[in-house]
Amino acid sequence: MYFQHIYEKGLAQASYLVGCQATGEAIVIDPRRDIDVYLEAAEKNRLRITHVAETHIHADFLSGARELAAATGAALYLSDEGGADWEYQFEHNGVRDGDRFMVGNLRFEVMHTPGHTPEHISFLLTDTPASDQPVMIFTGDFVFVGDVGRPDLLEKAAGIEGTRIQGARDMFASLKKFRALPDHVQLWPGHGAGSACGKALGAVPSSTVGYEKISNWALRIEDEEAFVAELLEGQPEPPRYFAMMKTMNKVGPEVLGGVPHPARLTMAQFSDAMRQGTTLVDTRDKLAFAGGHFPGSLNIQDNNAFSTWAGWMLEYDAPFILVASDSRIEELTRALIRIGLDNVAGYVQDMDRIGDAGQTMQVMDQIAVEELHAHREHYYVLDVRGYTEHEAAHIPGARNVHAGLLGSEIESLPRDRTIVVHCVSGDRSSIATSYLMSKGVRNVKNLTCGFNGWMQNRYPVERGSAQDGNAIAA
């Protein structure tokens, strides 16, 4: 048997290539949209991708299942569980609980494991030439290392009311199936630490059923009501693009036929696009951006969180241009198509050249924590971290609005006081401050060193929710 764990750090997303070396057949489970990694691995190991499978209709990335099937002729094995509302709307081989199929000499058994979503399935693998006992389970967003999939996404991200409680109860029931598996079975989940599909995912890529039984908090709670309450408590805000991913993955993502290659724009093309109001996404470091950027541009830095924040901040029905280097444009394009942001209208790489052409650059005003502390009463502090971070500790009196949700809160921000935006260290606050500036908010500064700097100076903090009047000084 051949096995390869393929991990994409930006979305903390895992996919798997599993092959029968005796017959040369192989399956890919939960593929991402840029599929060349699977094609190259299969060719290198003399395998043919004959099967493609998914654990569920994904919300956090755009599936590459159709892309891979189109490129290889592989058969698609997708869930037919969960009812009519959760059916894939494109041609596939539907599988249900207890179904089995062979990939060469490898047997895959389908387990319906609802909770994260109603249609969710897991795949139990038996290497039949070696044993009649299962050796691996591919759990998608069902069981992670140290955690389980969140059941609230359909309600929070997709707006389907009343699903989170039922999802939590379904998860509790599904975990009984997991507990019944042999302890030796290897666990290979769909995500690792950093994914928004859970709240406490471990950084270790795999585990075993036996180890999760003794270490995973969700498998140690035997009372259903206590489990439901704990599972729903403290889940992070789901990125805004999750609802779009659900829809696109259900109806079937467009088949690209390869990774697109955006064009580098001439100055004339760039100027025309700016006159037309095309969104400009500056992927440079936050310090370079603060020192001088094209007016109205949005700072989403080129790092592991790029795709997630692009999904939070960009619109799917509008084109955008990137500020990026020639050497990075392909990787940035890959990050974007992984969440279905295909509308890259081109890129520019030289801000100095734009400045030399007569365009006045804009700067992002900064403020140090010492200045904020000394004159706190003069400033309106906007904490753009997640609500759980804010409740754990925040600058006294700070208002909490997640950076990705600022669009609906701009009108409520004051215009007669300077707004100081902060996160932990400055990455998210640079996104948020640039967004506010792009929308015409001028009375805004970014807090250098962020909340980390505030804490390092041992300045006072509050705990709890300032908005609800329940904050406690500490």
Report the C-alpha gap between 147 and 411 in whole angstroms: 38
Report the C-alpha gap between 72 and 39 in whole angstroms: 9
pTM for the predicted model, two decimal places: 0.93
- Would you say residue 210 has pLDDT above 70? yes
Residue in the block written with tokens 């990335």: 61
Q: What is the pLDDT of residues 161-180, one digit of tens each?
A: 778 999 999 999 999 999 99
Q: What is the pLDDT of residues 323-352, one digit of tens each?
A: 999 999 999 999 999 999 999 999 999 787
125-128: long-range contacts, CB 8 A cutoff, minimum separation 24: 125/18, 127/1
**Residue 360's pLDDT band (boundaries 50, 70, 90)?**
confident
**Residue 200's pLDDT band (boundaries 50, 70, 90)?**
confident
- Would you say residue 454 has pLDDT above 60? yes
Specify the range with the lowest mean pLDDT, choosing from 58-72, 190-204, 368-382.
Answer: 190-204
Token reading at 242: 């999750």
3-class SS shares of the chain: helix, strand, coil, % to 5: 30, 25, 45
Whole-number Cα distances in Å, 353 to 182, 266, 270, 289, 356: 63, 11, 12, 15, 5
Give the chain's domains with CATH numbers.
Answer: 2-251 (3.60.15.10), 267-356 (3.40.250.10), 366-473 (3.40.250.10)
Dihedral, CA of residue 92, residue 62, residue 386 and residue 368, to nearest 10? 170
pLDDT at 73: 98
- Would you say residue 236 has pLDDT above 90? no
Q: What is the pLDDT of residues 216-229, one digit of tens each?
A: 999 999 999 999 99
Is 226 in a helix, a strand, or coil? helix
pLDDT at 406: 97
- Would you say residue 142 has pLDDT above 70? yes
Whole-number Cα distances in Å, 386 to 217, 399, 402, 450: 22, 12, 5, 14
Q: Mean pLDDT over residues 272-293, rounded?
A: 96
Q: Which residue has the higher pLDDT, 357 or 119?
A: 119
- Listing DSSP states for 40-74 in one string gives HHHHHTT-EEEEEE-SS--SSS---HHHHHHHH-P
Residue in the block written with tokens 């499978």: 53
Q: Mean pLDDT over residues 398-415, rounded?
A: 96
Q: Mean pLDDT over residues 241-269, rounded?
A: 95
Report the C-alpha gap between 146 and 212 in whole angstroms: 7
- Would you say residue 268 has pLDDT above 60? yes
Mean pLDDT for all residues in the chain: 94
pLDDT at 99: 98
**Residue 466's pLDDT band (boundaries 50, 70, 90)?**
low
Report the C-alpha gap between 403 and 407 in whole angstroms: 9
* Sign of torsion over alpha carbons 293, 291, 419, 430: positive
Tell me the angle at which helices 306-313 and 427-438 cross, rounded to the nearest 10 degrees. 30
Q: Mean pLDDT over residues 83-110, rounded?
A: 96
